[in-house]
Amino acid sequence: MSEYNVCGVLVMARPECLPRVEQDLEALPGVEVHARGEGGKLVVTVEGPFGRECADTITQLALVDGVVSTSLVYHEIDTESEAYEPQQELAQ
């Protein structure tokens, strides 16, 4: 079975640092900035095949210079399992 994680994160940055913060965030693997709002708000996704790596990336978001806070607002784990093949019952 394999999985793929999609995390939605609200990032609050100092408004004067917003262009640099956005650039630094998008340099991280699996990170994409989708929207910008007033007062330094950024809507970001973090995607990847392993939940632990996504969690580590979200931690890195908070450490970017100019970031004030991060909040995980959505997390989906898409699992793709192998085809189910029912076992035949043995005749008694």
Q: How do residues 32-62 score in pLDDT, each as one tens digit?
A: 999 999 999 999 999 999 999 999 999 999 9
Which CATH number covers residue 31?
Answer: 3.30.70.920
Asked, for residue 89, whether it belongs to a domain, the answer is no
- Tell me the C-alpha distance between 13 and 92, whole Å: 69
Residues 5-27 as b/e (b if ≥16 CB within 10 A, e otherwise) read bebebbbbbeeebbeebbebbee
Q: Is residue 23 part of a domain?
A: yes
Residue 80 — very low, low, confident or very high, per pLDDT cuts 50/70/90? confident
Per-residue pLDDT band at 1 (split at 50, 70, 90): low
3-state secondary structure of 40: helix
Look at residue 88 and tell me whether its pLDDT is greater than 80: no
Domain assignment of residue 91, yes or no? no
The total number of structural domains in the chain stands at 1
Domain of 45, in residue numbers: 2-79
Q: Is 68 among the domain residues?
A: yes
Tens of pLDDT, residues 14-31: 999 999 999 999 999 999
Query: Does residue 56 lie in a domain region?
Result: yes
In a domain, residue 88? The reply is no
pLDDT at residue 72 tops 50: yes
DSSP 8-state class, residue 1: -
**pTM for the full model?**
0.81
Q: Is 54 inside any structural domain? A: yes
